[in-house]
Amino acid sequence: MAIESIVPDDMLAVGIPTPGGPEALVPERRPVPAPGDGEVLIRVAAAGVNRPDVLQRMGKYPPPPGASDIPGLEVSGTIMAAGSDVRDRIGQRVCALLPGGGYAEYAVAPVGQCLPVPDGYDLIEAAALPETLFTVWTNLFERAYVAAGDTVLVHGGTSGIGTMAITLCRLFDITIIVTCGSDGKCDQARQWGAHHAINYRAQDFVAEVRRITSGQGVQAVLDMVGGDYVPRNIECMAEDGRHVSIAVLGGPRAAVFIPTIMSRRLTLTGSTLRGRPASFKTLVAEELMRVVWPLVEEGRLRPAMDERFPLADAAKAHARMDAGEHFGKIVLTV
């Protein structure tokens, strides 16, 4: 019996009939999507919960053209069906980066954005890898081109992004300083592997970074806050430092003193991932397979896991993220 024959016609999914708080996430029945050329249909084992999902729920981050309106940017599971050109992938366990559609029992992904889940690797944990791994790799390691011996500053040290940055920096011999919102979270970040953690509510992170680096500053900053953090981040940077913006949770505008950027040869850049074409994400996946995936296969790269919620309880998962008390990744299980 062909594996496609056991795929049902409809599935449980989580929709957003009206934007709002966590209660805006509503379980509903949807048709199972069909994969096209170069795509695979994944029977979802788990889906990662990410900050962009929250923004989409609130009506502030619509899916890109052609993407599913179902939230969810990463899943793990088994390929059950595929386009005619990639049928050899049927039956494989994978985790995948999606433009949307992950909060469902089945999801379609471009085959180039799928990464194989090694034997013995927890399939639920695998769902927490793609979004943060693609994001940290493309921004910290490619755009900021950090390398062994560098020191970096990452805000949100106990978030999915922050914990992934800590893991990767540890694996690639990079010193990482993170900021967190409490002493308890700083302790968690240090236990996870951060070399230094600063409580931004109780300490001036600029002064602390200068102290930690003996006045030299950091080679790179990964910033998801924006707003008035940007000029303060610049004060933390070493000459020829690189500042990468990936979100603007603290505001979309910043005032910077341009002569400082010029005289110290600083680079201010940034990116978003969701709207990038599949061809770009495929190139990133290929690089991750070459450079990072051996560490996954060895069990040395694992995500920091917070709570797991059933798919139908997506609203509870979002309420936990909104509360800001989580450490690492929240996932939905199917």
Residue 159's CB is within 10 A of a number of other CB atoms, namely 26
Q: What distances in angstroms separate CA 87 from CA 42, 120, 244, 265, 289, one per listed residue?
A: 13, 24, 39, 50, 21
User: What is the per-residue pLDDT across 187-228, written as a single tens digit (0 to 9) for each?
Assistant: 999 999 999 999 999 999 999 999 999 999 999 999 999 999
Residue 255's CB is within 10 A of a number of other CB atoms, namely 8
pLDDT of residue 6: 87
The DSSP output letter for 178 is E
pTM beyond cutoff 0.85: yes
The CATH number, out of the four listed (1.20.1440.230, 3.90.180.10, 3.40.50.10490, 1.10.240.10), of the domain defined by the range 10-130+274-333: 3.90.180.10
Q: Answer yes or no: is pLDDT of 148 > 80.
A: yes
Nearest to 218 by CA among 146, 152, 143: 152
User: What is the per-residue pLDDT across 273-285, written as a single tens digit (0 to 9) for each?
Assistant: 999 999 999 999 9
The DSSP output letter for 104 is B
Q: Is CATH 2.20.25.190 what the domain over 144-270 is classified as, yes or no?
A: no
pLDDT of residue 113: 98
Domain boundaries, the chain: 10-130+274-333, 144-270
User: What is the per-residue pLDDT across 82-101, written as a single tens digit (0 to 9) for each?
Assistant: 999 999 999 999 999 999 99
Beta bridge partners of 76: 46, 95
Q: Answer yes or no: is pLDDT of 3 > 80.
A: no
Looking from the CA of 112 toward its CB, the CA atoms found within 13 Å total: 13
The reply to whether 10-130+274-333 and 144-270 are identical in fold is no
Q: Answer yes or no: is pLDDT of 4 > 90.
A: no
